[in-house]
Amino acid sequence: MTSTAKAHTNIAFIKYWGKKNQQLNLPTTSSLSLTLDKFYTKTTVTIDDTLSTDVLYLNNQKVDATRVHQFLDVLRDELGYFPTLKINSYNHVPTSAGLASSASAFAALTGAVVQELGLHLDTCTLSRLARRGSGSASRSFFGHFAVWHAGIDNDSSFAESLHAPAMPIALVVAEVSSQQKKVGSTEGMQRALTSPDYGNWVNNSQQQFIDMQSAVMAADIEKIGTIAEANAMSMHDLNLTATQHPFTYFTAETQRILQIVDDLKHQGLLAFATMDAGPNVKIITHVEHAQLIIQTLNNALPNLKLEIAQSGPDISYE
């Protein structure tokens, strides 16, 4: 038997940036995201007890992924023993787009394994399991907008759909080339926790999470963008003010794009920036403004790679 799941990546409008429990991936704050149509991971899982260990192929190449092996140990712990697996995963998240593929990858893997084992688990349980692989994966089971409740323990920390109304929201992804050494999200958020501003950030984020839910339910793109930008920029301030190994994901090109986004905003366009664990800028806008944003960025920075994404679907199975 073989089972295939396809999960789309998501972009957080209220960020997850800090863990209160490293081993369980319990976040310090609840987060909220939009699932994207363009970028996804498709994963096929086959039980193969002739194998001595689980094997993983990523885009047809055999890889030795410690993180996946650790995650399968967690699944065996949670779901009970299962035989060795052959896993084939295809990433349709161009690493170049600067979007985290771990979200769609761990969501698709969880969905495919559970299907292959013939288990019927509700999506919130799947979300709770995928969280252990990568926190942001908990949100990648749900189309459109999802909320991940921080929770207080392993059982209470999972994501669910916001059941938000349809809206003409779009995301322009601007890929910045970067020579600087990468700080992964797990490492970056550990450093951010040492910022004296961290407690304040948690408090503000709680209010922003509430305000963002109202904005999403009202399909108010301007309000969504305003809150998302404030939340993202304050997340990046934590990295700068960390007392242990302060750092930044911003490059000169990032700052140039942020300046252009600001100019566009002052010209009356809906354009709001958000950024994750890298120098790329994602611009939240109205679908009708997306082309103009692309043209403006293209004129100013001709080498920039640009993509437009819109709201994406739930996880699906074959």
Determine, following the binding rule CB under 6 A, whether residue 15 of this chain makes contact with ligand DP6: yes
Pairwise CA distance, residues 197 & 195, whole Å: 5
Q: Out of 3, 25, 101, 140, name the contact with ligand DP6 by CB under 6 A.
A: 25
- Please tell me the distance from the alpha carbon of residue 32 to that of residue 170, in angstroms, as a whole number: 16
Give the footprint of ligand DP6 on residues 143-202 (CB under 6 A): 185-186
What HEC string does 223-247 produce? HHHHHHHHHHHHHHHHHHHCCCCCC
Q: Is residue 239 within the footprint of ligand DP6 (CB under 6 A)?
A: no
> Which range touches ligand DP6 (CB under 6 A), out of 15-23, 159-167, 209-217, 305-313?
15-23
* Between 66 and 299, CB nearer to ligand DP6: 66
205 lies in the site for ligand DP6, by CB under 6 A: no
Q: Which of the ranges 47-55, 90-98, 132-140, 280-288 carries the binding residues for ligand DP6, by CB under 6 A?
A: 132-140
In the set 135, 143, 225, 312, which binds ligand DP6 (CB under 6 A)? 135
Q: What burial class does residue 79 get, using C-beta atoms within 10 Å of its C-beta: 0-12 exposed, 13-18 middle, 19+ buried?
A: middle
Q: Minimum distance from CB of 105 to ligand DP6 (Å)?
A: 10
Among 9, 31, 213, 285, binds ligand DP6 (CB under 6 A): 31
d(CA 208, CA 222): 14
Whose Cβ is closer to ligand DP6: residue 100's or residue 117's? 100
Of 17 and 141, CB closest to ligand DP6: 17
Element (H, E) at 23: none
Residue 312, classed as helix, strand or coil, is coil
Distances (CA, A) of 148 to 79, 107, 114: 22, 14, 21
Binding site for ligand DP6 (CB under 6 A): 12, 15-17, 25, 31, 100, 102, 134-136, 185-186, 276-277
